[in-house]
Structure 1
Amino acid sequence: MGAWLNRLAGQDIDPPTDISDTVMRWPPTPARVLASAERHAYKSLAQALALEHPKGFLLAQLPLHRVVRVPRKHSYREWLSRTGLLTADFALCDEHGYVRAVVLMPVPDDQPRQQIKRERLLRVLAATDLPVALWERDWHGDDIGKLRAAVFPKPRGAGYYSDTPQAH
């Protein structure tokens, strides 16, 4: 009887759900961020990075605007509109957060639009003088020395210490 009276009084009415609330209409679920080839690449690159920059870190799927900076004399908004959706698959950083190398994992059967985006990304990265390595998705080698030379191609002299703020 009490439930019936509550219903008549309007006390147990659920608040109406907002139709535009996408969380309620399409409940999100966790996604798989790295595919198996990307997980293998991440592990191998982390080992190569540990040899080159022991205190460095590896970032995956980083937007291009976080990898490079552009002069402020031009419109940053325009640059971002042209390159804002481009991402680097992996960025290898020193302990101070400076990007030291970029690794891309091109897909062999990319759509023409994706190929154009990849070419634009390569042009921007080439202008930065950052080492850019292309990772073959079917590569499963365990030679970390070879991988290290591919990712960090510039030989170092004796007494070189890369993890300093001045080494930019």
Structure 2
Amino acid sequence: MLNLHLPRAVGAWLSRLTGQAESRPADPADTVMHWPPTLARVLGSAERHAHKSLAQALALEHPKGFLLAQVPLHKLVRVPRHHSYREWLSRTGLLTVDFALCDEHGYARAVVLMPIADGQVRQARRRERLLKVLAATELSLATWEREWQNEEPARLRATLFPKSRGPGYYADTPHAAPH
């Protein structure tokens, strides 16, 4: 059966005959029209200084490593799935670490968190949940201190990676990944 919308079809036909452009109202669900996007600064001033210093220290420990910023927690750790993974994500899915220092295979080896401002109760609660999960991992964890930006990369390396490499450690082989 043919389903015609006569008023709409006639209106479109008349618009074409008179040469008027069809002006349709914006879709109310169109987020680009209602909230036009603009560029945002990804890293603030303190974070940019931290990134520069951390990159130098990481290059000494893992020359082919990666320094990632604002990484979601669920990308860093895996949890057993005998419980609901969806429930775990609902509790921790919005938690992020400020910097993840990864080896050449993409495994996180250290995490650096920027300090939170006093009076930020909500951020403090999130930080507590994040620290609780990270404490159960073998990741080296540090909170960024402003003095580190003037520190030598070798000293910062020792702070970020306190575990010394044992004999027979080969950074460029896949067996170096944690089990």
With normalisation by structure 1, the TM-score equals 0.89
Q: Is the CA contact 2:68–2:101 (under 8 Å) kept in the aligned structure 1? A: yes
1:105 is aligned to 2:117:
no
Q: Once the two structures are aligned, what percentage of the paired residues are identical?
A: 72
Which whole-Å CA distance do the structure 1 matches of 2:41 and 2:168 have between them? Answer: 42
Residues 1-150 of structure 1: matches in 2 within 5 Å?
Answer: 9=18, 11-137=20-146, 139-150=148-159
2:153 maps to a residue whose letter is I
Which whole-Å CA distance do the structure 2 matches of 1:90 and 1:110 have between them? Answer: 23
1:157 to 150, 166, 170: 166
Which whole-Å CA distance do the structure 2 matches of 1:137 and 1:85 have between them? Answer: 26
Q: Is the CA contact 1:62–1:91 (under 8 Å) kept in the aligned structure 2? A: yes
Q: Is the CA contact 1:53–1:163 (under 8 Å) kept in the aligned structure 2? A: no
Q: Is the CA contact 2:99–2:113 (under 8 Å) kept in the aligned structure 1? A: yes
Q: Is the CA contact 2:71–2:99 (under 8 Å) kept in the aligned structure 1? A: yes
- The CA deviation at 1:26 is 1.3
With normalisation by structure 2, the TM-score equals 0.84
Residue by residue over 1:50-84, the C-alpha shift from the partner in whole angstroms, topping out at 9 and shown as x without a partner, is 11011111110000000110011111001001101
- The CA deviation at 1:113 is 1.6
Q: Is the CA contact 2:116–2:124 (under 8 Å) kept in the aligned structure 1? A: no
Which whole-Å CA distance do the structure 2 matches of 1:152 and 1:43 have between them? Answer: 17
How well do the aligned residues superpose, as a CA RMSD in angstroms?
A: 1.9
User: Which ranges of structure 2 fall in alignment gaps of 5 or more residues?
Assistant: 1-13
User: Which ranges of structure 1 fall in alignment gaps of 5 or more residues?
Assistant: none
Q: Is the CA contact 1:93–1:100 (under 8 Å) kept in the aligned structure 2? A: yes
Which whole-Å CA distance do the structure 2 matches of 1:140 and 1:110 have between them? Answer: 25
